[in-house]
Amino acid sequence: MSINLGSYLANRAILNPDKEALVCEDARFTWSEANGRANQLGYAMKKLGVAPGDRVGLLALNEPEYLDMFYGLGKIGAILVPINYRLAGPEMEYILNDSGCKVFVFGPEYMDIVDSIRKSIPAEQFVALTDKPPEWALSYRALAEKEPTDEPELVGGDDDVLTILYTSGTTGRPKGAMLTHNNYFFSATNLLATVGDLGETAMLVLPLFHIGGIGNAPLAPQAGLRTVMLKSLDPKRMLELIQEEKVNVFGSVPALLQILKMIPDFEKYDWSSVRKVFVYAAPLPVALLEEYAEAGIEVRNLYGMTESAGSGTVIDGEHALIKAGSCGLPEFLAEVKVVDDDGNEVGPEVTGEVVMRADFVMLGYWNNPEATAETIKDGWLHTGDIARRDADGYFYIMDRKKDMIISGGENIYPAEIEDLLLRHPKIQDVGVIGYPHEMWGEAVKAIVVVAPGATLTEDEVIEWTDGKIGRFKMPKAVAFTDALPRSATGKILKRELREQFNE
């Protein structure tokens, strides 16, 4: 039997046609309605010339249309390319050109930025999520609502690519992780087999361009979960919905849990329905874990990444506090180990790189065989993360081999920001590091060497990056120095920078 993620909705609609599937602000859809919407989208895209294997870009908040496209494009064998709405125009332009998107769908909030790049990308059609699109775009609803709701002929599945999710690259250019129908199927199956019953209602709050958002989508039809989705992060509204909709489970990042705790009267909101909270994208501070435990809320650290469709390891509820700081054991369908530089597995309490092997590991990087070969070796995904494993087999993430910064759950690579800052006429040299930030876990700090005879302030450096990169990547702090520490081969010694400037 071929696995096509688009059939998930159809199968659930047969089993539970009138059961509520999705709640998003004022919109509520049953499984039958959700499946019909995805079918209409599939037919509409075919009329726009989208063929199997074609890429369709999507720049939007967490709209119901996001899920229509995920499943609808899956049904017709096409590929969804989610665009991070926090990126700047030139960054979006690169992704759309690299992936070769034939159609570009966007929310009304992003009309101006799309207009600024539309003549520089390969998209043949532009579709807006509004009834009043600009003259150069079509209306999504006008396109889709006139199409039939019956099932289109399923095309593809299994190891065919379903999404291309772009991750920041160590060379400054993002790489497109190709995730297949099988990757999403095995990731969802893997989590359900590992953690068991998730209840009846899940909340989806993380952005759908992120694996922490879209990676959870297949769980809903597979487990029959009702999804309560927030269009964008509103911490107070999130707490209200947990209480009103009796949410049983949701995924988060540490920064979000920290923000929720800061909402006035946090302790008065009813969390009694919540069975599990999974936290990923960054290590969970032990103090935060303990604060939630004191409130009777079970928070479980999970380790995964875009390249593994979000799967990897997870801590069980029994050991979440006993093994505080650990991201747990390998999930049911995952092989995970810690290896040295030669690829040999190391013993307990020895640090090394995390590698994993499973059916949920990506096919590779889009149009980038060199990066694929460097990352997947003999079937093992080399994560670039440094960890240790204790005597009981529990994993602890220690550091990031590639100097990646994780800010609010977003991956940031210093090389990209360094490349941009070096274009400043008054900057002679620069090194970018992460520094501890109370709200976001980490934030970006630029260590700048000013060109001879020039003067520069912290505000000037920060302001110069505005509009050139996503705001979450912009430096939040700048320090100045006469020279950067470098190795004999010229590599900036980031550890020395952190020791000197993060004291």
The architecture in CATH of the region 405-501 reads 2-Layer Sandwich (3.30)
According to DSSP, residue 108 is labeled G
pLDDT at residue number 465: 94
Buried/exposed code over 198-222 (b: 16+ C-beta within 10 A; e: otherwise): bbbbbbbbbbbbbbbbbbbbbbbbb
150: which DSSP letter? S
| Radius of gyration of the CA atoms of the chain, in A | 23
Q: How far apart are CA 91 and CA 345, in angstroms?
A: 38
389 strand-pairing partners: 395
In sequence order, the 6+-apart residues with CB closer than 8 A to the CB of 244 are: none
Q: Is the dihedral of CA 111, 24, 165, 384 positive or negative?
A: positive
Neighbours of 350 (CB within 10 A): 12
Distances (CA, A) of 33 to 14, 21, 64: 11, 9, 11
The CATH fold of domain 249-361+371-402:
Rossmann fold (3.40.50)
pTM of the model: 0.87
Q: Are 269 and 240 in contact (CB under 8 A)?
A: yes
Give the 3-state secondary structure of residue 258: helix
Give the C-alpha separation, 124 to 131, whole Å. 20
Tell me the three state secondary structure of residue 429.
strand
CB 412 within 8 A of CB 168: yes
pLDDT score of 489 = 47
Q: 265: phi > 0 → left, psi -120 to 50 → alpha, else beta; which?
A: left
34, exposed or middle or buried, with CB in 10 Å at 0-12, 13-18, 19+? buried
The amino acid at 344: N
Residues whose CB is less than 8 angstroms from the CB of residue 497 and which lie 6 or more positions away in sequence, other chains included: 431, 433, 447, 484, 485
**What is the spatial distance between Cα 301 and Cα 319, in angstroms, rounded to a whole number?**
10
The pLDDT value given to residue 168: 66
Per-domain residue ranges of the chain: 249-361+371-402, 405-501
- How do residues 454-489 score in pLDDT, each as one tens digit? 999 999 999 999 999 999 999 999 999 999 987 544
d(CA 47, CA 51): 9
What are the average pLDDT values for consecutive 10-residue runs of the chain, which has 503 residues? 90 97 97 98 98 98 98 98 94 97 98 97 98 97 97 96 83 86 96 93 95 93 96 94 96 87 91 92 77 87 94 93 92 96 94 95 97 96 92 87 80 82 90 89 93 94 93 94 75 84 84
- Write the CA distances from 94 to 98, 121, 144, 275, integer angstroms: 6, 8, 28, 41
Burial of 387 (0-12, 13-18, 19+ CB in 10 A): buried
Per the listing, tokens 């998730």 go with: 198
**435-449 burial: b if 16+ Cβ within 10 Å, else e:** eebeebbbbbbbbbb
Q: Show the tokens assigned to 124.
A: 């043949």
pLDDT at res. 170:
44
